[in-house]
Structure 1
């Protein structure tokens, strides 16, 4: 079965007579998010090491290695921190968020908006945390 477009899948779900109908018929179209798989993929794409990414993301190696090994699931804030560790662009960050099961950065949310600004300005995580703190929005690292 070929992959269905999201709009088509949404139409099938909303017009189904029962959950069993679409859960069975469309099972191959559902996405299963495995953050560890994508993090390891990014290591190869970006030619990085776990230790360098974790250091730049302000995440301890004890916890961080568990993210890469799939033993722990990172929160959205930690995924964003890892994105800074990988030095991702805005588009790459949003792809990483989606591929790990989280919402993309949303320009109408002030916390997300400042992260978008920081990415556009090529800020590192520490400078981004300072910016968020300056506006009374906490920090990315506070979750770390």
Structure 2
């Protein structure tokens, strides 16, 4: 079955008089990967060890391994820390947040704009936390 784009699927959902029928007809269209699978996929694309990732993400190796094993469900802040640790692009970060059911970065929010800027300009997590602190915004950890 051909993959439908999000807009097409959304339009079909809005036009559908029967939710059960819509769900049945589009079963193959839904994203089924869990957070651990998504993170592992992103991790495999990067040339970094889990020990280095833990250090660059500001978290313990034990907690990191629990996330990758699917035993922990990290918050949005922790996911963003992982994205900084993985040197993820803005696009990779936005996609991970979206597919994990977390709010994407929204540049009209000052805090999100700072985080977005940091990703875009390849600042490390500790630099971005300093910028957040300097602007009286909640830090990532």
TM-score, normalised to structure 2, is 0.90
Q: What is the 5 A alignment of 1:38-117?
A: 38-117=38-117
- Please report how far the alpha carbon of residue 98 of structure 1 lies from its aligned counterpart in structure 2 after TM superposition: 2.8
Off by >4 Å, runs of 4+ in structure 1? none
User: Counterpart in 1 of 2:122?
Assistant: 122
> Structure 1 regions of 5+ residues with no counterpart?
none
Aligned residues, how many?
A: 141
TM-score by length of 1: 0.88
Name the SS for the 1:126 alignment partner. Answer: helix
RMSD value over aligned CA atoms?
1.5
The alpha carbon displacement at 1:38 in A equals 2.0
**Structure 1 contact 76–102 (Cα < 8 Å) conserved:** yes
In 2, the alpha carbon distance for the partners of 1:5 and 1:66 equals: 33
**Is there any run of 5+ residues in structure 2 with no aligned partner, and where?**
none
